[in-house]
Amino acid sequence: MTQTLTVREALRDAMAEEMRRDSNVFLMGEEVAQYHGAYKVSQGLWEEFGDKRVVDTPITEHGFAGLGVGAAFVGLKPIVEFMTFNFSMQAIDQIINSAAKTLYMSGGQMGCPIVFRGPNGAASRVGAQHSQCFASWYAHCPGLKVVSPYSAADAKGLLKSAIRDPNPVIFLENELIYGRSFEVPTDEDYLIPLGKASIVRPGKDVTITAFSITVGHALQAAEQLSDLGIDAEVIDLRTIRPLDRETIIRSVKSTNRLVSVEEGWPFAGVGSEICTMICEEAFDFLDAPPVRIAAEDVPLPYAANLEKLALPSVEKIINAVKTVCYK
Amino acid sequence: MAAQLRAVKAVESPYDEEVSMSQMKQSKAELLKCYEQMVLIRRFEERAGQLYGMGLIGGFCHLYIGQEAVIVGLQGCVQPQDTVITGYRDHGHMLACGMDPKGVMAELTGRQAGYSKGKGGSMHMFSREKNFFGGHGIVGSQVSLGTGMAFGHKYKEDNGVCLTFMGDGGINQGQVYESFNMAALWKLPVVYIVEDNGYAMGTSVARGSASGEFHKRGEPYGIPGRVADGMDLFAVQEAGAWALDYVRKGNGPALLHIKTYRYRGHSMSDPANYRTKEEVEKVRQDHDPIELFRQHILSKKVATEDALKTIEKQVKDIVTEAAAFAQSSPEPDAGELYTDILI
């Protein structure tokens, strides 16, 4: 059984189901309760769960991130919403130094079951401070899991798994796909394990890795490439850390070509990691040097034409695939 | 010098008139337990300093010597469900929370039997069993964390209070005020304790704080504050009893400004050139918290000199045993490198 849901609704349903299931789960963040979330992701939750479990915070990211981590230390399971992940930079010390490292520094005593979630990456014409992908930032850090779904079904299944996970999870959404609709299983125990990628389009000529909104770009590119006689395999990474190395390596060993796509900057990005991994694990299988598609190495500009130039696009992916296929 | 005055008994304390050592209603056993804990912290820290000098303890090591009455006084006010969190100068808090000196010392030497299996070190130790939640190395971060622990107490309705310690340096961090705002807004059960030892590393309060009246820092949020002389165990207890009672009744947070003094440098590598030897010596001579308490015990005939010496001997043995244990316990197994990263 499935139903058609937007990503926004799927995320809301995931939280509602997990809050019904476990009274220690609560949601906090700016405008999550009475306003229903700046992007309406928490629609209806305050009405169902009340002030105690859906908590509007002041504008105080560093403070409420730390507060959430402290609450997790004493056994609660906070879902902390950042209105956008850009604002998580105010809180990154608590996320990394407190949430990610304390289990290790305590010799395993201090688990921190917390989810930090919210929209990540570029939105539309909001300028450099509000348009940044944090996938590689957080994926750099041991002690965190980093998830970034594309479809509504994945958004729901992964968020439910993230809430049930005993570790701190960074859950990167994307504002521009909140309104896209997908078929979503209705089963309340529909869980997708963290750390597993998904081959969303099988193919034999080239492997394209992508996550979040860029999965849509990659799928469009693959459709157009098929007209050129190139059969692209598209892998939705879904989880950035731990990365599903096995799925990527197996794919590249069969296609012999790799294009990685992400919305973050290229330097030390997710694509850099994937390309390194392939060089280490599947070098002899490569028929062409891998190519990374990332945001251009600039703060994101406001002007419509420049913004478009700065971000990954279907066209850039097609050109990269042509390059690695020598076409 | 403001810095020197800070070490003098807090004349502006509202407790100076109300509290005298003789007025405290505590059993002889309770008083002697406090004495034992204060001496244990002192001797433990002295030994840690020695082990550091011998190269057996590495990295940063911040000693609590001089501040013993603060944590011992406050721990005398707590209930079993209460929780404690502090910054990096944490050895005294751990011992006062009842953590095993052997486990603490073994962590300092980076051994498998340490509280964090040797993976945390001086600034990062925890004991869920003893409700001690660290041990945090980023100045001020524990204030938001402690506020979240208080959020947990309220959420779970367990009638617990979180004691959140910070220093006269940490109180200037921005997230402290973010935390004050939320704690007051949501009436969270948290007691904020500023252990003002006069110096944030090498910067005196006068040089680092526009106002040194830290008990007033919560006023804009409606958080009541009190000052107490941190060299006087009973003054700390009195302040702690007030704060915990106020908070446990559901009134929201309270703030204590405890004026104390550290005899040693900020860390073991600090030559303390920012203050005079005379300043330190004067506090040691006139305001040492252990000596003051010892004199009280003797003058009020709580115990005899011999009884105190017996306690001191027992403490010495405990510390000797801890130091030996910390040196003989093996280093963590190489396999521990990749454990405890995720559950």
Would you call A17 helix, strand, or coil by DSSP? helix
A190 lies in some domain:
no
A59 lies in some domain:
yes
Task: Using a CB–CB cutoff of 8 Å, tell me whether A143 touches chain B.
Answer: yes
- The answer to whether the CB of B64 falls within 8 A of the CB of B70 is no
Determine the residue of chain A that is closest to B176 in CA distance. Answer: A63
Determine the residue of chain A that is closest to B137 in CA distance. Answer: A97
Number of other residues whose CB lies within 10 A of the CB of residue A35: 13
The answer on A123 and A242 residing in a single domain is: no
Inter-helix orientation angle B289-299/B305-328, to 10°? 140
The answer on A318 and A219 residing in a single domain is: yes
The answer on A223 and A157 residing in a single domain is: no
A292 lies in some domain:
yes
Angle at B72 between CA B71 and CA B75, to 5 degrees: 80
Task: Using a CB–CB cutoff of 8 Å, tell me whether A47 touches chain B.
Answer: no
The answer on A218 and A162 residing in a single domain is: no
Q: Give which of B84, B97, B124, B144 to mutate to test A binding, by max A Cβ within 10 Å.
A: B144
Scan residues 173-202 of B and list those with Cβ closer than 8 Å to A: 174-175, 178-179, 181-182, 185
Task: Using a CB–CB cutoff of 8 Å, tell me whether B124 touches chain A.
Answer: yes
The answer on A178 and A203 residing in a single domain is: no
- The answer to whether the CB of A152 falls within 8 A of the CB of A180 is yes
B10 lies in some domain:
no
Query: Hey, are the CB atoms on B178 and A58 less than 8 Å from each other?
Result: yes
Structure tokens at B80: 């079993």
ipTM: 0.96
The answer on A92 and A25 residing in a single domain is: yes
Query: Hey, are the CB atoms on B148 and A102 less than 8 Å from each other?
Result: no
Rounded to whole angstroms, the Cα distance separating B121 from B110 reads 6
B4 lies in some domain:
no
Determine the residue of chain A that is closest to B120 in CA distance. Answer: A105
Convert the pLDDT of each residue in B86-96 to its tens digit: 999 999 999 99
A144 lies in some domain:
yes
Q: Which of A9, A17, A61, A307 is catalytic?
A: A61
Task: Using a CB–CB cutoff of 8 Å, tell me whether A161 touches chain B.
Answer: no
User: What CATH number has the domain bearing residue A8?
Assistant: 3.40.50.970
Residues present in chain A in total: 327
B341 lies in some domain:
no
B96 lies in some domain:
yes
The answer on A277 and A143 residing in a single domain is: no
B142 lies in some domain:
yes
Ordered DSSP codes for B185-235:
HTT--EEEEEEE-SEETTEEHHHH-S---GGGTTGGGT--EEEEETT-HHH
The answer on A245 and A162 residing in a single domain is: no
Among B189, B182, B180, which residue's Cα sits nearest to residue B215?
B180
Question: pLDDT tens, position by position, for chain B (343 residues)?
Answer: 333 334 334 334 333 333 344 445 788 999 999 999 999 999 999 999 999 999 999 999 999 999 999 999 999 999 999 999 999 999 999 999 999 999 999 999 999 999 999 999 999 999 999 999 999 999 999 999 999 999 999 999 999 999 999 999 999 999 999 999 999 999 999 999 999 999 999 999 999 999 999 999 999 999 999 999 999 999 999 999 999 999 999 999 999 999 999 999 998 888 889 999 999 999 999 999 999 999 999 999 999 999 999 999 999 999 999 999 999 999 999 999 999 999 9
User: What CATH number has the domain bearing residue A297?
Assistant: 3.40.50.920
Q: b/e per residue, A46-69, with b = 16+ CB within 10 A? A: beebeeebbbbbeebbbbbbbbbb
Among B237, B113, B87, which residue's Cα sits nearest to residue B175?
B87
A191 lies in some domain:
no
Residue A119 burial by Cβ neighbours in a 10 Å radius (0-12, 13-18, 19+): buried
Domains contained in chain B, number: 1
The answer on A23 and A139 residing in a single domain is: yes
According to DSSP, the residues that pair with B229 across neighbouring strands are: B259
Domain with B303, as residue range(s), is 27-322
The answer on A181 and A60 residing in a single domain is: yes
Rounded to whole angstroms, the Cα distance separating A156 from A190 reads 8
Domain with A308, as residue range(s), is 198-324
Residues of chain B contacting residue A22, judged by C-beta atoms under 8 Å apart:
none
Q: What pLDDT, on a 0 to 100 scale, did the predictor assign at position A285?
A: 98
Rounded to whole angstroms, the Cα distance separating A11 from A262 reads 22
User: What CATH number has the domain bearing residue B57?
Assistant: 3.40.50.970
The answer on A245 and A207 residing in a single domain is: yes
Q: What is the pTM of this model?
A: 0.94
Query: Hey, are the CB atoms on B155 and A76 less than 8 Å from each other?
Result: yes
Structure tokens at B333: 């197994």
Residues of chain A contacting residue B115, judged by C-beta atoms under 8 Å apart:
106-107
Domains contained in chain A, number: 2
Residues of chain B contacting residue A76, judged by C-beta atoms under 8 Å apart:
151-152, 155-156
Residue with tokens 């990167």: A172
Query: Hey, are the CB atoms on A66 and B147 less than 8 Å from each other?
Result: yes
What counts of helices (H) and strands (E) characterise chain B? 13, 7
Structure tokens at A128: 């450099």
Determine the residue of chain A that is closest to B184 in CA distance. Answer: A58
Q: Does A140 qualify as catalytic in the annotation?
A: no
The answer on A156 and A74 residing in a single domain is: yes
A270 lies in some domain:
yes
Determine the residue of chain A that is closest to B177 in CA distance. Answer: A63
B123 lies in some domain:
yes
Amino acid, single-letter form, for residue A171: F
Distance to chain B for A209, nearest Cα, Å: 26
A204 lies in some domain:
yes
A38 lies in some domain:
yes
B5 lies in some domain:
no
B14 lies in some domain:
no
CA torsion through residues B174, B179, B181, B182, sign: positive
